A and B are shown apart, each in its own frame.
Chain A
Amino acid sequence: MTPGTWLLLLAGVLLLVHLGWTTWTLTRLRRLEGRVRRSWDVLDGALLRRAELAAALARERGSELGEQARSELAAAAAGARSPAAGDREAAENALGRLLRRVPAELQLPEAADADVRVGLARRFYNDAVRDTRSLRAQRLSRVFRLHGRRPLPRYFDIDDGQDAVVTGSAAGGGRAGG
Chain B
Amino acid sequence: MRIGLVCPYQWDVPGGVQYHVRDLAETLRPLGHHVQVLTPAEHEESLPPHVTFSGRAVPVPYNGSVAGVQFGLVSAARARRWLRDGRFDVVHVHEPASVSLSLLVCMIARGPIVATFHAATTRSKVLAALGPVARPWLERVTGRIAVSDFARRVQVEHLGGDAVVIPNGVHVPAFAAGPTLPGLRRGGDVPTVGFLGRYDEPRKGLPVLLQAMRTVVGAHPTAQLLVAGRGDPAELDRLVGDDLRPHVRLLGEVSEADKAAFLRSVDVYCAPGLLGESFGVVLVEAMAAGAPVLASDLDAFARVLEDGAAGVLVRRGDPAALAGELAGLLGDPGRRARLSAAGTRAAAAYDWSVVAARILAVYETVAPAGGAVVDGSRDDDAALLGPPSGSERDSTFQGPFRRRVRH
Task: Report yes or no: A123 in contact with B142, Cβ–Cβ below 8 A.
Answer: no
A55 cross-chain contacts in B, Cβ below 8 A: none
Task: Report yes or no: B157 in contact with A173, Cβ–Cβ below 8 A.
Answer: yes
Task: Report yes or no: A116 in contact with B162, Cβ–Cβ below 8 A.
Answer: no
B162 cross-chain contacts in A, Cβ below 8 A: 123, 126-127, 130, 174-175
Task: Report yes or no: B149 in contact with A23, Cβ–Cβ below 8 A.
Answer: no
How many residues of chain B get a CB closer than 8 Å to chain A's CBs? 29
Question: Which residue in chain A gives the minimum CB-CB distance to B165?
Answer: A165
Question: In the bound complex, what is the Cα–Cα distance between A42 and B90 (angstroms)?
Answer: 15
A61 interfacial contact with B, CB 8 Å = no
Chain A contact residues: helix, strand, loop or mixed? helix
Question: In the bound complex, what is the Cα–Cα distance between A26 and B403 (angstroms)?
Answer: 12
Task: Kindly identify, within residues 116 to 174 of chain A, every residue whose CB is under 8 Å from any CB belonging to chain B.
Answer: 116-117, 119-121, 123-124, 126-128, 130-131, 134-135, 165-170, 173-174
Q: What 1/0 flags go to A95-123 for Cβ under 8 Å of B?
A: 00000000000000000010011011101
Q: Which of A30-38, A67-75, A84-92 contacts B (4 or more CB under 8 A)?
A: A30-38
**Separation in Å of the A48 CB from the closest CB of chain B?**
13
**Residue among B143, B299, B358 making CB contact with A124, cutoff 8 Å:** B143
Question: Which residue in chain B gives the minimum CB-CB distance to A124?
Answer: B143
Task: Report yes or no: A173 in contact with B404, Cβ–Cβ below 8 A.
Answer: no
A27 interfacial contact with B, CB 8 Å = yes
Q: What 1/0 flags go to A16-45 for Cβ under 8 Å of B?
A: 000010011011101110010011011001
Question: In the bound complex, what is the Cα–Cα distance between A126 and B143 (angstroms)?
Answer: 11
B257 interfacial contact with A, CB 8 Å = no
**Separation in Å of the A37 CB from the closest CB of chain B?**
12
Q: Which of B121-129, B191-199, B361-369, B380-388 contacts A (4 or more CB under 8 A)?
A: B361-369
Task: Report yes or no: A117 in contact with B361, Cβ–Cβ below 8 A.
Answer: yes
Task: Report yes or no: B161 in contact with A130, Cβ–Cβ below 8 A.
Answer: yes
Task: Kindly identify, within residues 137 to 180 of chain B, every residue whose CB is under 8 Å from any CB belonging to chain A.
Answer: 139-140, 142-144, 149, 152-153, 156-157, 160-165
Task: Report yes or no: B403 in contact with A127, Cβ–Cβ below 8 A.
Answer: no
Task: Report yes or no: B365 in contact with A120, Cβ–Cβ below 8 A.
Answer: yes
Known pairs A35-B142, A120-B365; A27 contacts B407 (CB<8 A): yes
Task: Report yes or no: A121 in contact with B157, Cβ–Cβ below 8 A.
Answer: no
Task: Report yes or no: A124 in contact with B156, Cβ–Cβ below 8 A.
Answer: no
Known pairs A31-B140, A120-B143; A169 contacts B153 (CB<8 A): yes
**Residue among A26, A121, A126, A169 making CB contact with B365, cutoff 8 Å:** A121
B365 cross-chain contacts in A, Cβ below 8 A: 42, 46, 117, 120-121, 124
A20 cross-chain contacts in B, Cβ below 8 A: 404
B405 interfacial contact with A, CB 8 Å = yes
Question: Which residue in chain A gives the minimum CB-CB distance to B138?
Answer: A131
Task: Report yes or no: B361 in contact with A23, Cβ–Cβ below 8 A.
Answer: no
B136 interfacial contact with A, CB 8 Å = yes
**Residue among A41, A45, A170 making CB contact with B153, cutoff 8 Å:** A170
Closest 3 CB pairs of A and B: A170-B153, A120-B365, A27-B407
- Residues of A in contact with B (beta carbons under 8 Å apart): 20, 23-24, 26-28, 30-32, 35, 38-39, 41-42, 45-46, 113, 116-117, 119-121, 123-124, 126-128, 130-131, 134-135, 165-170, 173-175
- Residues of B in contact with A (beta carbons under 8 Å apart): 136, 139-140, 142-144, 149, 152-153, 156-157, 160-165, 299, 358, 361-362, 364-366, 368, 403-405, 407
Query: Can you give 10 A-B contacts (C-beta < 8 A)?
Result: A24-B136, A42-B365, A126-B162, A130-B161, A131-B139, A165-B165, A166-B156, A168-B299, A170-B152, A170-B157
